[in-house]
Each structure stands twice: as structure tokens, then as C-alpha cells.
């Protein structure tokens, strides 16, 4: 088979990719460019842990797909190698209660999961704190996507327990990194006063990448993931331009992978602009599909109800929702609020002539797109 990428078709056992794994979500890139100052702030806060002291807390904020999780993973990778330091990253989209957060920490420390029920929070907490003191270890916890703890009203309790662990267990040293991509959420303001008084974090802000930065970062990814010559500079520029519309790097990475697969489907050795165009709609929705994936069955049922019905008034929507789930109105209102905060639905008050106000609900995205992604 010819080596020239201009010529010939891809054989069945050939791939346009050198390593497709570099486009997967759990891949931690080797090079991490354009985030030097943010990494400095994080290092500054966490450095005391290496000396056996309690680290400073850090608050990491920025829009989706700007490298916040990756920065934490990189630093935790380095810190975790130091003796006397234990790092745990908790994905609060999955573990969104104080109990679940401490279960994850317990698991990281003891190497097995605590029982899902039958053990009180206090017991779980005491075992974690006792072990830290016994082993003289500093614990650094990252609460990634911490906004989900706020949506469930669990943030203050979880942070309170972490930040005041040393009061009940002298010698316990815990530092917290909170990571939020919800820019409308004022993390400090939303915490109870008792937590605010002990949580005075250093701040690291992750702005959106601009098109030139996106191009730099995606070129590294192309070099690592594609065979030489498979993606030309022109195609890469198309991808960077689409990615810059939202500034979410995940769109660009997903777009590269999908365009590569599309080119393979044509048995082509090279990704063309037409491949990018063919898959760009799906890649643009990656953020939406990620948020939908993180929903519970009942939350998803409400999104489905809204996609399927013309009803707008909250009371009318509830009737269909209740038929589907059997849940009460209080829980329904909590779910409405969470989906509103997540930007999946819009909940507004409208005044009814002389009859007070009524809440109306609508999807924040096109119903067909939502149904496709659910
Ligand atoms: N500077 C960078 N260099 C290389 N890859 C990067 C860089 N910044 C982000 N990425 C990649 O972009 C994707 C999204 O990054 P990451 O998950 O860290 O974003 P995030 O800000 O935590 O997003 P979210 O708030 O939605 O959780 C990942 O695949 C990551 O590898």
C-alpha cells in the first residue's frame, strides 16, 4: 500500500489514528499549555502539604472545557507521589451529597468502599479523620463540579465537615480545592456563615481559550492522535474556529475524533473539511449531552416531559410528570430549580391578569436536539 497520504484507500486493518485514546474524556494530556499562572496559584496553595502542613484552600472557576479538571489532575498526579500527602478528586456530579463525598474519600484512603447504608456519617467521618492523624497524612480534596453540591443543598455541610475536621480531631490536616463551572453561582455568597468564616480560598480563574490558543492545544492533540499528514493545517483551522464559538475545548477534541472516524468511513487517509462539516453539529452538542448524562432518572423524566408536551404552566407540567414518576410537588419543585440552574430549562414567573403569578417552564434548547441526546 502506498505511503503517500494523497493516494490510495485505507485498508480494513489500517487506521487514520495513531492513538485514538488521546481523544477520550479520561485522557490527561502530556503538554498543558496556556495555563501557567493558574497552575502557579494552585501550587502556591497546595505546597504546604508537602511540608506536612495544612494547605491553603483554592477556588477554581471558569467556563466549561477550560482545563480546570486537567489542572487538578496534573497537580494531584505530582502531589500524590509525595509521602505524607493523600489526594482525592471527587466528581460531585456523581457524588452530590456530603455522605457520598466522604464515601469517596473513605474509599481512596482504605481502598474499599464503605457500606452504602447502615453506617452513620459521623462514623464514616471519624474513621477518615482518625486514619489521617494516625498516618500523619495531609489530605487534599478536590470537589470537582462543586456546583452540583449547591444544587442539592449539600455544599455547606460537606465543606464544614472538611474544613473543621481538625477541631474534632486535632492533628487532622485537610485542604480543599473547589472547582466550579457555573459562573452564575457565587460560591462564597451561597455558603452558610459558619463555613464562610473558615473558607477563604485563593482564587484561580480559567478564562475561555482564544482561537490561537485552541489551535496550539489542538495541534498537540493531532500530533499525538493522528497519523502524520492525516489532518492538514486548513482542517485544523476549521476545527479551531468552531471550537472558539464556545471556547470549550471538549468540542474541538470531540470534533477531531468524529471527523477522523468519518474520514475512515470513507476509507480516506486524510480528514477533509467535508468530514468536519458532517459531524460538527453533533460535536457542538457535547456539553449538552454531558449535562444530560449526569441526570438521575427522575430529573431526566422531567426533561422528557417538557420535550413531549406543549404545557408551559408548572402546575400542568407537574400533572404529566406525576403520572410518569409518582413524585410529590415538593420534589418536583426541587428538580425544576436544579434543571434551571443547570441551564437545561428556563423557569420564569408570569403575571396572570389580576390572579397573581404563575410559573412557566420551557426547555432551554431545541426539543428535537434534547430528544436526540437523551
Ligand atoms: N491547556 C490544555 N492543553 C491540553 N488539553 C487541554 C487543555 N485544557 C483543556 N484541555 C483538554 O480539554 C478537555 C476539557 O478540559 P477539562 O475537563 O480540564 O475542562 P474543565 O474546565 O474541567 O471543564 P468542566 O468545567 O466542563 O468540567 C480535556 O479533554 C482536556 O484534556
User: What pLDDT digit, counting tens, does each position of 12-51 carry?
Assistant: 889 999 999 999 988 999 999 999 999 999 999 999 999 9
Ligand 1 centroid to residue 253 C-alpha, Å: 10
Q: Which fold has domain 209-284?
A: Helicase, Ruva Protein; domain 3 (1.10.8)
Ligand 1 centroid to residue 67 C-alpha, Å: 3
Whole-prediction pTM = 0.88
159: Cβ–Cβ under 8 A, 6 or more apart, which residues?
Answer: 143, 176, 178, 191, 195, 199
C-beta contacts of 205-208 below 8 A and 24+ residues apart: 205/38, 205/61, 205/62, 206/35, 206/38, 206/60, 206/61, 206/62, 206/63, 206/66, 206/67, 206/68, 206/71, 207/62, 207/63, 207/66, 208/62, 208/63, 208/66, 208/246, 208/247, 208/248
Does 250 contact ligand 1 (Cβ within 6 A)?
Answer: yes
Summary mean pLDDT of the chain: 92
3-class SS at 90? strand
Q: Which residues of 347-357 are buried (b: 16+ CB within 10 A; e: fewer)?
A: beeeeeeeeee
Does 208 contact ligand 1 (Cβ within 6 A)?
Answer: no
Ligand 1 centroid to residue 208 C-alpha, Å: 11
Residue ranges of domains in the chain:
36-205, 209-284, 294-373
Ligand 1 centroid to residue 286 C-alpha, Å: 13
Nearest CA to ligand 1 atom 18: 67
For domain 36-205, which CATH number applies: 3.40.630.30, 3.40.50.300, 3.40.710.10, 2.60.120.10?
3.40.50.300
Q: What is the pLDDT of residues 51-62, one digit of tens each?
A: 999 999 999 999
**pLDDT value for 4:** 52
**Mean pLDDT, rounded, for 194-223:** 95
Ligand 1 pocket test, candidate residues 25, 64, 66, 224, most atoms within 8 A of CB: 66
Does 121 contact ligand 1 (Cβ within 6 A)?
Answer: no
**pLDDT value for 287:** 79
Ligand 1 centroid to residue 248 C-alpha, Å: 8
Atom of ligand 1 nearest to the CA of 71: 18
Q: Is residue 41 a known part of a binding site?
A: no
Q: Is residue 68 a known part of a binding site?
A: yes
Does 32 contact ligand 1 (Cβ within 6 A)?
Answer: yes
Would you state the cell numbers that stand for residue 74, as one nine-digit string?
496534573
**pLDDT value for 176:** 98
**pLDDT value for 1:** 42
Does 65 contact ligand 1 (Cβ within 6 A)?
Answer: yes
Would you state the cell numbers that stand for residue 314, as one nine-digit string?
408548572
**pLDDT value for 352:** 67
Q: Is residue 83 a known part of a binding site?
A: no
Nearest CA to ligand 1 atom 4: 32
Confidence tier at 2 by pLDDT (50, 70, 90): very low
Does 18 contact ligand 1 (Cβ within 6 A)?
Answer: no
348: left (phi over 0), alpha (psi -120 to 50) or beta: beta
Q: What is the pLDDT of residues 180-204, one digit of tens each?
A: 999 989 999 999 999 999 999 999 9
Q: What is the pLDDT of residues 128-148, one digit of tens each?
A: 999 999 999 999 999 999 999
Q: Which fold has domain 294-373?
A: Arc Repressor Mutant, subunit A (1.10.10)
Amino acid at each position: 500500500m502506498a505511503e503517500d497520504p494523497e493516494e490510495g484507500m485505507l485498508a480494513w486493518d489500517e487506521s487514520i489514528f495513531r492513538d485514538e485514546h488521546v481523544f477520550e474524556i479520561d485522557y490527561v494530556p502530556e503538554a498543558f499549555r496556556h495555563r501557567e499562572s493558574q497552575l502557579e496559584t494552585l501550587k502556591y496553595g497546595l505546597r504546604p502539604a508537602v511540608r506536612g502542613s495544612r494547605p491553603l484552600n483554592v477556588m477554581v472557576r471558569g467556563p466549561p472545557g477550560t482545563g480546570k479538571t486537567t489542572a487538578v489532575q496534573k497537580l494531584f498526579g505530582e502531589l500524590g507521589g509525595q509521602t505524607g500527602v493523600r489526594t482525592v478528586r471527587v466528581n460531585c456530579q456523581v457524588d452530590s451529597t456530603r455522605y457520598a463525598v466522604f464515601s469517596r474519600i473513605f474509599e481512596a484512603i482504605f481502598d474499599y468502599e464503605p457500606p452504602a447504608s447502615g453506617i452513620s456519617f459521623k462514623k464514616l467521618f471519624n474513621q477518615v479523620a482518625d486514619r489521617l492523624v494516625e498516618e500523619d497524612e495531609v489530605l487534599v480534596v478536590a470537589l470537582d463540579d462543586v456546583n452540583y453540591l449547591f444544587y442539592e443543598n449539600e455544599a455547606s455541610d460537606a465543606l464544614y465537615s472538611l474544613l473543621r475536621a481538625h477541631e474534632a480531631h486535632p492533628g487532622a490536616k485537610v485542604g480543599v480545592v473547589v472547582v466550579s463551572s457555573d459562573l452564575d453561582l457565587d460560591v462564597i455568597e451561597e455558603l452558610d456563615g459558619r463555613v464562610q468564616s473558615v473558607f477563604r480560598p485563593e482564587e484561580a480563574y480559567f478564562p475561555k481559550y482564544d482561537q490561537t490558543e485552541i489551535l496550539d492545544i489542538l495541534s498537540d492533540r493531532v500530533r499525538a492522535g493522528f497519523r502524520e499528514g492525516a489532518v492538514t493545517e486548513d482542517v485544523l483551522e476549521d476545527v479551531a474556529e468552531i471550537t472558539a464559538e464556545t471556547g470549550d475545548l471538549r468540542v474541538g477534541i470531540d470534533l477531531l475524533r468524529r471527523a477522523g472516524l468519518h474520514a475512515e468511513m470513507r476509507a480516506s487517509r486524510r480528514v477533509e473539511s467535508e468530514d468536519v462539516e458532517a459531524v460538527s453539529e453533533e460535536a457542538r452538542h457535547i456539553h449538552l449531552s454531558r449535562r444530560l448524562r449526569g441526570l438521575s432518572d427522575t430529573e431526566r423524566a422531567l426533561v422528557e416531559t417538557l420535550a413531549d408536551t406543549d404545557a408551559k404552566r408548572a402546575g400542568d407540567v407537574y400533572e404529566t410528570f406525576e403520572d410518569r414518576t409518582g413524585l410529590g410537588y415538593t420534589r418536583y419543585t426541587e428538580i425544576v430549580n436544579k434543571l434551571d440552574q443547570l441551564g437545561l430549562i428556563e423557569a420564569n414567573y408570569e403575571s396572570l391578569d389580576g390572579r397573581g403569578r404563575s410559573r412557566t417552564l420551557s426547555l432551554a434548547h431545541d426539543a428535537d436536539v434534547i430528544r436526540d441526546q437523551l
